[in-house]
Chain A
Amino acid sequence: MLVWLALAGLTLWLAARLSGQAQFGPSPAFFARYLSFALLALAGIRAIGLAVAAVAASGGEAMRRRQWQSTVGELDPPADEADTVLRRPGLRFAVLVAALFAYAFLLEILGFILATAALGFITMTMLGRRPFRASIECAVGSVLLWYGFTNLLGVPLPGSSIGILRALGL
């Protein structure tokens, strides 16, 4: 909710800094301004809705918990023992997103093959693959991708900008 309000405020401020009038027809800022006001209004409606729902839920939740206890006898449904969940999913997700940003900044420094192998390795291991297996698969995979994109599809991909890596053909 706060995100929408902040975003609406930011766009309103940015739109206000643009010239208000064009010589003919509407100014470049007019649509952005209307949209910012619309976002502000919608965020307001959402805030009211959330407040109303929170008030209703404070009574409803207690009722639901009582119903659940009377019918099932315990508060949390038992987890399916056949299913597994990766440990620390939040941390894994954060590592994956960080790896994407790192790839963006390191691609032209490390070169395609190394950067892609590293990204593939992090993705595979964070999704639950064993590191040894993932390292071999990613090394082979990144070379194959390089070959496929550059030679078969004609898409040029960057080599490393570090001298020693370039000398190694990366």
Chain B
Amino acid sequence: MDAFDGLMHGLGVVLTFQNLTFAFVGCLVGMMVGVLPGVGQSAGMAILIPITYSIGPTGAIIMLASIFYGAYYGGRITSILLNVPGESESVVTTFDGYPLARQGKAGTALGISAIASFVGGVFATFVLLVTAIPLSRLALALGPPEYFALLLLSLSLVAGLLGKSVVKGLIMVVLGLLLSQIGMDPALGTARLTMGQTWLLDGIPLLALIMGFFGVSDTLMNVFERRSAAREEAAPVDRLLPTRQDMRESATPMARGAVIGFLLGMLPGMAAAVSTFASYIVEKRVSRTPEKFGHGAIPGIAGPETANNAFANASFLPLITLGIPGSASLAILFGAFMIHGIAPGPAMFRDYPDVAWGLIASMIVGNVILLTLSLPLSRVWIYLLRVPATVLGAIIVTVSMIGMYSLSRNPTDLAMLAAFTLFGAGLKVAHYPLPPTVLAFILGPLIEASLRQSLLMSGGDGMIFFTRPISATLLGMALLLVLLTAASGLRGIRVRRETLEA
């Protein structure tokens, strides 16, 4: 099936009443998650996975993916109207969006950002559509040593890019891989690292790890947060459609933002905030009126918002073509695929065409839904911010616990969720990045399997990874990346020390 046939097939899958409803609900929930500060995409998706059990795999994946990219849409609304970014990638939107709103142009800012988000999302989806099949074929041609090296490179990217210390990142990767070792050995059926406990034979439930590390621990740690007594008043919203002049000013920043977002989105471990900041810096550099930036410059909203949504949709590329989730949220989606019995990766287009093509087509349909919803519902999202954090916290905690229980009906899994909540909170306090652990936990079995297959092929000789050009190059890149990140960290420490001594 080529890209065009695939898209048509996907549209046929999505444009049914049932799947459209799932996409619609997912977009709504995603925007809500994006609007609410303190409720991250990961938490939002993790909490809702149990609700998708009774839905078929295609509908479930469409709904969860809609939450993922819907959150990127939602963050901009409160950034513009209240100067409150729902997610880290929306911080840039406050720079010019809020000043525009204070000047009485809140509607223009909302309109431009919605159109920019739509352009970014649709652009990335079309490039994804065109590149997915060739990349999948390439991935299917990789042997176990190359796949092992590719997975290791992805983990080094995640460990290096997420967090300030590469050593901490690598510790978290190793922790995730060790956790994935607990349970029965897949090849021989031997119990590993279980300490004789039968309840550990099935391994650690992915949802306990994800919900404990993200949804529940984030909520519980709210007790340490400082809460603002003052309530910011939302700026009034005037006309929502931008003028022709506004659109002319936004066209080139949108084009640049789309390319920046897509290129950065393909890299596993890259944070979406990097794409928005990069786009903002580029726009300021190329602008003839850089002094306007920070005071309500239209390109300062158009570029980053396009980059943001192009990033979101491009980040699906490594997941669906190589089976590598590039972020914590996509790791959760990866987990959802597995819960529904689907292995994400290059074979998905052959084995589960409805899910693979339906997912891609749903991004186009989802972006249309989001564009349609985001403008008229702006005021609704502002009201949503008035739901007390105490009520929201109780909902997150109870729904997470119910979700965990409904998966296995085993109270031990609930205790594990509680244990990971405590562990995750401790790690957050010590500034250890949690996404690398989740990614390593998910990729652990794949890494071990490809390592084993490679060693079986070579009769136990580890040189197989260095004698094959692709795996040697990928491993070299992984090593170089770790060394570069470590060197940049050391340089930072030296600069800080010199500044202090000066």
Q: What is A's interface to B at a CB cutoff of 8 Å?
A: 4, 7, 11, 14-15, 18-19, 22, 24-26, 28-29, 31-32, 35-36, 38-39, 42-43, 45-46, 49, 53, 56, 60, 63-64, 80, 82-86, 89, 92-93, 96-97, 100-101, 103-105, 107-108, 112, 116, 119-120, 123-124, 126-129, 134, 137-138, 141-142, 145, 149, 153-158
Contacts and interface: CB of A to CB of B under 8 A. Distances in A.
Interface in B420-465: 421-422, 425, 448, 451-452, 455-456, 460
A90 to B, nearest CB: 8
A127 B167 CA distance: 34
A11 B178 contact: yes
Nearest to A48: B167
A32 B229 contact: no
A152 B220 CA distance: 29
B391 A28 contact: no
Contacts of B170: 38, 42
Contact of B406 (A28, A32, A60, A149): A149
A18 B187 CA distance: 14
Contacts of A56: 493, 497
Contacts of B171: 4, 39, 42-43, 46
Interface string B105-139: 00000000000000000000000000000000000
Given A83-B229, A93-B220, A25 B460 contact: yes
B405 interface: yes
Contact of B193 (A15, A43, A104, A123): A15
B103 interface: no
B417 A157 contact: no
B399 interface: yes
Contacts of A82: 228-230
A49 B166 CA distance: 12
B418 interface: yes
Contact of A129 (B168, B391, B399, B417): B391
Interface string B337-372: 000000000000000000000000000000000000
A32 B395 CA distance: 38
Interface stretch (B49-57, B264-272, B304-312): B49-57
Contacts of B402: 112, 116, 145, 149, 155, 157
A11 B222 CA distance: 33
B223 A96 contact: yes
A155 B401 contact: no
Interface of B: 50-51, 53-54, 167-168, 170-171, 174-175, 177-178, 181, 185, 187-188, 190, 192-193, 195, 216, 219-230, 388-391, 393-395, 397-399, 401-402, 405-406, 409, 411-412, 414-415, 417-418, 421-422, 425, 448, 451-452, 455-456, 460, 493, 497, 500-501
Contacts of B224: 85, 89, 93
A92 B223 contact: yes
Given A28-B188, A42-B171, A157-B406, A100 B193 contact: no
B395 to A, nearest CB: 8
A32 B394 contact: no
Contacts of A137: 391, 394
B192 A97 contact: no
B415 A101 contact: yes
Contact of A104 (B393, B397, B414, B452): B414
Interface majority SS on B: helix, strand, loop or mixed? helix
A129 B387 CA distance: 12
A127 B393 contact: yes
B360 to A, nearest CB: 27
Contact of B411 (A45, A105, A124): A105
B174 A46 contact: no
B223 A138 contact: no
Contacts of A142: 398
Contact of B226 (A18, A85, A155): A85
Given A25-B456, A93-B221, A32 B421 contact: no
B500 A116 contact: no
Contacts of A127: 219, 222-223, 389-390, 393-394
Given A42-B170, A153-B54, A100 B421 contact: yes
Given A100-B418, A127-B223, 8 more contacts: A26-B460, A31-B181, A32-B178, A36-B178, A85-B226, A116-B401, A124-B390, A157-B402
Contacts of A101: 415, 418
Contact of A80 (B192, B226, B405): B226
B456 to A, nearest CB: 4
A83 B228 contact: yes
Nearest to B226: A83
